[in-house]
Structure 1
Amino acid sequence: MTLHKAILHLTCWVIISTSFTAHSANELDSVRIWAAPESTRVVFDLSQAPQYESFTLTNPERLVVDIKNASNKVQLDRLSNNSKLIKRIRVSQSPGKGILRLVLDLNKPIKSNLFTLSPTAPYGNRLVVDLDDSFSAETRAKVTTHSSGTNRNIVIAIDAGHGGEDPGSIGPTGIYEKRVVLDISKRLADKINATPGMQAVMTRTGDYFVDLNRRSELARRSKADLLLSIHADAFTSPQPRGASAWVLSMRRADSELGRLLEQTEKHSELLGGVGDIIQNSDVEKYLVQTLIDMQKNNSMVMGNDIAKDILRDLGSVTHLHKKEPEAASLAVLKAADIPSILIETGFISNPGEEKLLVNYNHQQKLANAIHKGVVRYFETNPPSGTLLSQSANTKHKVQSGESLSVIAKRYGVSVNNLKKANNLRSDVVRIGQHLVIPRA
């Protein structure tokens, strides 16, 4: 072969190879399926930002996704799939050159939403398919509610942080925060459910991501009296340690740790999806906003008091990073009508605390301490109409702005009977004072 022919042959080969590469430059590297009770998320990990189109087919139900200039290197028949919505994911015949056609065989007609996510450590480019079954009759029937009348349970919503796409913080040995806090949350739920007059509901019970706003919405649908969001802290150095409790601040956090926590929450949204960070809750301006502000202020005061009780008990089983509740502007705390607390059970970035956080006995101690603080608060301040409020020894902790007449009206008793039950000689009460509430 002459030099001229060799050069020509090489040039042709480069052109052909370049053309082939252009049509299959984007590789499907992996597929992950995250199944939640009401939905399923499918994540396609790709080497580049995808160009795609999708459509649905019926009889049988299918969702078809075409990715341009892409190729597949995933054995789809070996995918781990625990979804009740998806039968399988497979490759179908390409409709055109360089197009990768993926088919999701579905078990029922389902609402779908597709979107892309740019690289956010530890993940690269992603095409996300969300399948939502939350409006089915079966799902609606499973929503936990309680009676608005008397003798109802106090409902505690427990939110295990992160999940699914979002691992949360990662410890020195590779332990994921999302797994640790789910274990602790389940133990806490068991303790609450074993307490007469109390009931636990969980925003997630498995390894899947729940949008930050939806966590509060799930608590609201369950008519929760309190939302506890369970986390494990992390910092840029391994030295910090200890548990802490966070309540809502209407301003940006003052501390470095608080600012880091706010940044982490935004990072979680980028990992987990494109859910709205915080929706404006106004329905009608002025009057509605005033009512919301009053309700939020009451919830914030109550949340701060409960957080103090929880820290008191956590301090008996683990080191405290701060002995008083800290404040930050976090989405999961912003439900106007539900007192909400974010509990950091320890620093997973600290090697010693990472070992503790994965230890069964330590997890149980943390759950016991949180439970004890919650129970003590609600035994002292039971919401009206609950089983705990019917106790002959109901107690009330005086809050800022409360008077004897206000407290008497809340519990439906006379001021004179309230004074007699507490041996009071005057109508003066002090903040933090515990009063016995007589039966109406």
Structure 2
Amino acid sequence: MAAVSHAPETESARRQDPGPAALRRQDPELADILSGELTRQSTTLQLIAAENFTSPAVLAALGSPLANKYAEGYPGARYHGGCEIADVAERVAVERAKALFGAEHVNVQSHSGSSAVLAAYAALLRPGDTVLAMGLPFGGHLTHGSRENFSGRWFDFVGYGVEAESGLIDYEQVRALARAHRPKAVVCGSISYPRHIDYALFREIADEAGAHLIADAAHPMGLVAGGAAPNPVPYADIVCATTHKVLRGPRGGMILCGGGLAERVDRAVFPFTQGGAQMHTIAAKAVAFGEAATPAFTGYAHQVVANAKALAGALAERGLEVVTGGTDTHLITVDPAPLGVEGRAARGRLAAAGMVLDTCALPHPDARGLRLGTAAVTTQGMGEAEMTRIASLFAGVLTDETDPRSAREEVRELAGRFPPYPGSESRGGAGA
């Protein structure tokens, strides 16, 4: 284990150099750990649907002096002094998000997608209220009624599902359940549903039941920013989203709503569910929103979808069952059972070959499938040709036609041609 330096000059040195070189000098053990993570990301394929690579500019904002600032409250009404610059940063983030998504109000303080959903429930619901959301076995999130989560303990959740044959949302079931249970809120959104959601129809169903509509758009919101997916903002009372995933920002959440709910949403975030805002993260969100407003990001978002369609098609050609028969988004759900392997075992084999992804619930009872996405590999510059190659490696490993060690070398070669941060190794890290 590397020793941490405690020489007398360390205090002045760390204040003079707040960059990666300071970490290497002050704490080489942690520097090695971070370097190892960069190597892992650079030599394997990141196919987790919820992950992406931020830009160096976003990383710079995350490591900025705003990390030092306490800023409870909102711009112009903070509980701490010295927030003049922090106020400007948050206002920029809010205005950029409002313009990007066409929202009347945006709260950018949520620490995560889950905390954004918690605040949305706090703004609209009371403990014991009935909520209609996608059931967890069909792709609902933990915040959509899991008994291990606050949502399932505080509210009475009713779960809707998907059609057995198609894997598509059963909208008639949603309507029937809404009529029968008269929920206080209807939630639309999923962690593994690869198709566009009909927000207009959900709005109609919610109105018929006298319910609020909450869109949990954590996964598709980056595609919305790039014009590659429908926007839930005009239809939902509240939209919850993350700022990472396809959006390529820092890990965090945001809430979008109409002006009439602005005060309730803001008070639900602070002081009801959170304390001080993470101002360095909010600044990084502002950077990401600015990047997402460019033509380059629009091209990126559409390429993400094109890559997902290509990968889904290639996997189907190689014998995997693609749930819903394809995808409209960055996300693909597949069942490896036709190749003779169960989801968890398949994930382990693929991980050994350097392909990193998740398992997920499938519409079939007690079945686990694989959830993968194309956001990160598209950020690296890969296209449809690389998706075909990935599918071949994927199927080869699962059918034992390709030795995992051989596949690992192919993965390393492919990833090496598309580094997430070109030249970062020679500079000592992605933030250098």
Superposition TM-score tier, normalisation by shorter sequence: under 0.3
Bigger relative contact order, structure 1 or 2, given CA contacts below 8 A and separation 6+? 2
For the pair shown, which has the larger CA radius of gyration, 1 or 2?
1
TM-score by length of 1: 0.24
TM-score by length of 2: 0.24
- Determine which structure has the larger strand proportion and give its number: 1
